Amino acid sequence: MRSVTLKSVNLSDVSVGDTLTRMLGGTFPMLLRVTRTDDMHVYCATPDGRDEWVFERAGGLEYDPELGWGSRFGITGSFISEVSKGL
């Protein structure tokens, strides 16, 4: 398994309509659109809206309890590397 050093991204100012860059495995970028938010998480979808991912507001790690991903598990498979405010 490859280890990646993460630069923490603060998602506290992210809002619906913003575009985020998800880094899958620290290597593959994927553009996602913010669809909704709550106090702890940011919910994103692909441009066609078919798939959804959840990221932690504090740090930008993907949160998926079914996979055991997120800060509470100590491991993740993807993270947010960049935020572009809504167009």
Instruction: Give the integer Cα–Cα distance in Å for 35 and 49.
Output: 9
The pTM for the full model equals 0.87
pLDDT band, residue 32 (cuts 50/70/90)? very high
Domain ranges of the chain: 9-84
> Which pLDDT band holds residue 27 (cuts at 50, 70, 90)?
confident
Q: So what's the pLDDT on residue 50?
A: 83
Would you say residue 68 has pLDDT above 70?
Answer: yes
> How far apart are the two ends of the chain, measured CA to CA in Å?
37
What value does the mean pLDDT take over residues 71-84? 91
pLDDT for the residue numbered 26: 82
The helix/strand/coil state of 9 is strand
